Amino acid sequence: MAAERLIYKRADGKWAWKLTSQGHVIATDGGRGYRNEADCRRIADAVTGGAFADAKTRVLD
């Protein structure tokens, strides 16, 4: 399954990112937006690159 990370400039001038696969959004910046492309890219790289791969799982019920 091929995924695509899209980094783009929004209409409000802020940068955003999302990770998609087969037309479905897998992850996104949550609508916050970033002031510059470098910050946006850094966060997208950290999330999609597995920087949090060893995070503990917490389940709320």
Question: What are 39-54's pLDDT values in tens digits?
Answer: 998 998 888 877 666 7
CA distance 15 to 45: 14
- Residue 33 maps to a domain: yes
Domain count, the chain: 1
Query: Which amino acid is located at 56 in the chain?
Result: K
CA distance 37 to 18: 13
Q: What is the pLDDT of residues 15-28, one digit of tens each?
A: 999 988 888 898 89
**Pair 40, 7: CB distance under 8 Å:** yes
Structure tokens at 33: 């937006």
- Residue 31 maps to a domain: yes
Q: Residue 9: which domain range?
A: 3-48
- Residue 43 maps to a domain: yes
- Residue 61 maps to a domain: no
- pTM given for the model: 0.76
- Residue 28 maps to a domain: yes
Structure tokens at 35: 């002031």
